[in-house]
Amino acid sequence: MTDLERAALPIAGANRGPTINRDAYAPAYLQLADALQAQISDGSLRPGDKLPSEAQLRRHYQLSQVTVRRAVNTLLQRGLVTTAQGRGTFVKSPDISDAVFQLRELKEYIVQGERTRVNLLEVRVLPADERVARKLCIEPGEWAIYLRRLLMDRDTPISYHREYLVYDPSQPIVEGELEVTALEGLFRGNGKAALQSGALTIECVTLREDEAQLLHVAPGSGAFLLEHVFRDSMDRPASWGWFLWRGDRIKFSATLGARRRVRPQAGGDEHE
Amino acid sequence: MTDLERAALPIAGANRGPTINRDAYAPAYLQLADALQAQISDGSLRPGDKLPSEAQLRRHYQLSQVTVRRAVNTLLQRGLVTTAQGRGTFVKSPDISDAVFQLRELKEYIVQGERTRVNLLEVRVLPADERVARKLCIEPGEWAIYLRRLLMDRDTPISYHREYLVYDPSQPIVEGELEVTALEGLFRGNGKAALQSGALTIECVTLREDEAQLLHVAPGSGAFLLEHVFRDSMDRPASWGWFLWRGDRIKFSATLGARRRVRPQAGGDEHE
DNA sequence: AAGTGGTCTAGACCACCCT
DNA sequence: GGGTGGTCTAGACCACTTT
């Protein structure tokens, strides 16, 4: 039995026991946070209920004020409670608008794995038209690099990427590198490109004939359209482009609220 | 002279950054966090750079260790830095996999506004088939409620929702309420339903003929498919269903890294 | 051994809410 | 006025990394 599980046990008689194990690997504030979360999960504390005040928790668990606060803050960040100054801390009802979808799944396709290949379809240096110039904050007619790439999972096309880059004469283009580097720059942001910030939008579109053909799906299929603008350290747009992800290969997931069996989370306190 | 006033003495000849204003509304840790973020945004601190150590910050800004840590933690949560015990704190390169999409936009459609209407298409109590039973963790043949609803923005259909609910004989069905209540339950989670947790997936699909017709779009249009399972306080599935959101009406956005002009955020310390 | 992040305590003051 | 969350300090110990 781990410390965490012990801490989560409802104590008969008294509603809670002194449960913090100072020898455990998990810090005290996490043990308390997880103990409280366990009470939320198992229904001892239900949505709308008021948590014990911080002073009560402090006394009960023999912790300092600050440590109790950290525990409460942890639950706050997990979206499980809300706090109201002068009133108390309350269990939050799961709210669909708290759902958060991350793009980790995408990264797995990008960070050059064994399966993934990048297929460079086109590289061109061209003068920016009105639209591109506006997005990249350059003058119409200035040079820009236009890329078209296909991301492949083995032999299956996954995503079709088009991108405009501000042309930097000091960094000559190496076609071979473009297949990989610039892409990794977006997803790893390391070194060279030194991207400073970015903005993304994601929406759902129907593929045009040519797009569908590239992605080996039926024309009219649904796809995620992920548009991105990345900015350099001077806060100037450096890249504007968009991915079309095959809808049948990408799926994002999220969870809300507190499920029953809380995973160890801080992990690795099974020893002893 | 109180401790506070003494501590508020300005730093003479500070080479770097604004000092902490103890009279400001914004707490010290936030001021420090924002000051550091400003340095990241304006390029004084670039991706990969090491931040001043906490000891240095502590001395420089005349703050306690704990307060400095809170500031660093704030940046950590904002995804702007990474910390490495024994080595230091480093400015993080923006990483697309940090991008996070929230469903706030959806909520605006749901929380009964003036524009939004719910159009109940069908309510039925039916015995659960194999598939429904498995999702709701009931026995095949047990009763379930099947709902079909259309979410309207004025006269425009936005989303088509189908849902199976576990049938609870103790709570008779009131058709009028179903148009609204059960839906709000999902999005506000307040009171009655007392939903405990949920899981969501979002993907991109192509609408079938009947679906497209309901949503007033061309057959084959792209749409977001948002599937949900909600669980009650006993951790039993209470609801399984899915929304089809018109792709042309929904768009999610996210940002990465630190943009230039950081908003005041805690705001209102310009007075005095 | 020195530097650095991570945790914790005991005590304090403040702003806010409720009665 | 008493309870509650929010902030802050000074000092301490630990674990990890680097020299």
Q: Confirm whether any atom of chain D, the nucleic acid strand, is less than 7 Å from CB of B183.
A: no
Query: Are B73 and B27 within 8 A, CB to CB?
Result: no
Compare all CA atoms of chain B with the CA of A100 and give the residue at the minimum distance: B102
Question: Counting Cβ atoms within 10 Å, is residue B41 exposed (0-12), middle (13-18) or buried (19+)?
Answer: buried
pLDDT at A221: 86
Two structure tokens written together for B233: 């306080």
A84 CA: nearest nucleotide by C1': D5
Angstroms from A107 CA to nearest CA on chain B: 6
HSE on the CB side for B165, CA within 13 Å? 22
**Strands (DSSP E) along chain A, which ranges?**
81-84, 88-91, 100-102, 116-127, 143-153, 156-166, 197-206, 222-231, 237-246, 251-257
pLDDT at B6: 34
Q: What is the mean pLDDT of chain B?
A: 79
pLDDT at B261: 55
Interface mutation vs chain A, best among B49, B137, B186, B204, most A CBs within 10 Å: B204
Cα–Cα distance measured from residue A123 to residue B74, given in angstroms and rounded to the nearest whole number: 41
Cα–Cα distance measured from residue B83 to residue B87, given in angstroms and rounded to the nearest whole number: 8
Local confidence band at A129 (pLDDT 50, 70, 90 cut-offs): very high
Pairing of strands B100-102, B197-206: unpaired
Cα–Cα distance measured from residue B208 to residue A195, given in angstroms and rounded to the nearest whole number: 41
B57 CA: nearest nucleotide by C1': C4
Cα–Cα distance measured from residue A113 to residue A110, given in angstroms and rounded to the nearest whole number: 8
pLDDT at A198: 87
Q: What residue has its CA nearest to the C1' of D2?
A: A86
CB-based contact, B177 to chain A, within 8 Å = no
pLDDT at B53: 94
**More confident position, A72 or A123:** A72
A85 CA: nearest nucleotide by C1': D5
Strand, helix or coil at A149? strand
Residue B72 CA distance to nucleotide C12 C1' (Å): 24
Q: What is the largest CA-CA distance in chain A?
A: 78
Of B118, B250, B126, B114, nearest to B187 by C-alpha is B118
Query: Are A61 and A26 within 8 A, CB to CB?
Result: no
Q: How far apart, in Å, are the Cα atoms of B81 and each of A102, B94, B95, B263?
A: 18, 10, 11, 19
User: Residue B116's CB: how many other CB atoms inside 10 A?
Assistant: 17
Strand partners, A214: none
pLDDT tens readout for residues B182-203: 566 555 543 445 678 889 999 9
CB-based contact, B9 to chain A, within 8 Å = no
Cβ–Cβ gap B198/A47 under 8 Å: no
Contacts A104 to B, Cβ<8 Å: 97
Average pLDDT on B106-130 reads: 79
- Chain centroid offset of residue A233 CA: 22
Give me the residue from A43, A99, A103 closest to B103, CB to CB: A99
Of A82, A118, A113, nearest to A98 by C-alpha is A82
Query: Are A34 and A262 within 8 A, CB to CB?
Result: yes
pLDDT tens readout for residues A78-107: 999 999 999 999 998 887 778 888 887 777
Average pLDDT on A60-68 reads: 93
Which of residues 201 through 260 in chain A touch B, CB cutoff 8 A?
A: 201-207, 220-224, 228, 230-231, 233-235, 245, 247, 250-260
